[in-house]
Structure 1
Amino acid sequence: MAFQFETYRFNTEDAIQVCVGAFALAVPIGFSEEAWQLGETLPLLNLLMLLGLSLLFLGVFTYQSVFQQDIRHRLPVFIFRIIVAYLISACVVSLVLLCIDKLPLIDDTMTSIKRIIVISMPASMGAIVVDSFDKE
């Protein structure tokens, strides 16, 4: 299965690379009590700033490494790449937290979302770095 935009493809191999990169950083950080507590105590504004920083750094790295500063005719692909990398990373983080019983989705949904945002920042960077290894 592949999504094709002009001359660029996002396929199963890319998705697996994003998963592996996210998992590489989600595991050690997801197991830390400091990350759990940050997810409980950070105010919403700080979490939004963290989310924004995550997307900003994903964008900068993707622009420099994956697209080699050439997004003029591939802007939709560029944006798609950033969003997909972040969403896959958030899913990987969610699975890790669920496995270690630190994702109280039903009992405390807001804490779960906060923990996912906190741990997805480094996990998404790991994801996009691994994904960039074999690009262009």
Structure 2
Amino acid sequence: MELSFNMEDASQVFVGAFALAVPISFSEEAWRLGETLPSTNLVALFTLSILFLDIFTYQSVFQKQIKKRLFVFIFRIGIAYFMTALVVCLVLFCLDKLPLLSDPVTALRRMIVIAMPASMGAIVVDSFDKE
């Protein structure tokens, strides 16, 4: 069975990311973490996000069957994180907490902090209809 990524998958990723991005994006603590967390910790947070996406996708979405579908596996993780980042940025922009033009580093840092839990929500919702 070849798993592809279609519009249903995309909508599930968006909904899952949105479900966790919204409440966290309203948190001043998340904004401040994005400003104050050392870069090493941000890299660790990003790495953990990707690692947990890998593990969950491998176990639940692909059911440990990736040998013949390695490209699709990697693509699915990349697109899920990218879509999550877009959702987080959109929510932060709507809250006027994404200083993309005036302070792009802070904008990126806030996105990484909030994308960690939001990406897990995205991939969990994406896995609901998989056999």
TM-score, normalised to structure 1, is 0.94
How far apart are the structure 2 equivalents of 1:77 and 1:119?
25
How far apart are the structure 2 equivalents of 1:29 and 1:16?
20
Is 1:54–2:43 an aligned residue pair? Answer: no
Greater share of residues in strand: 1
What do the CA deviations read for 1:56-96 (whole angstroms, capped 9, x no partner)?
00000000000011111111111111100000000000000
How far apart are the structure 1 equivalents of 2:3 and 2:99?
38
1:1-136 to 2 correspondence within 5 Å?
A: 7-136=2-131
In structure 2, the gaps of 5 or more residues are none
CA displacement at 1:7 relative to structure 2: 2.0
Greater share of residues in helix: 2
What is the aligned-residue identity percentage?
A: 69
Runs of 4+ in 1 over 6 A off after TM superposition: none
CA displacement at 1:45 relative to structure 2: 1.1
How far apart are the structure 1 equivalents of 2:6 and 2:120?
19
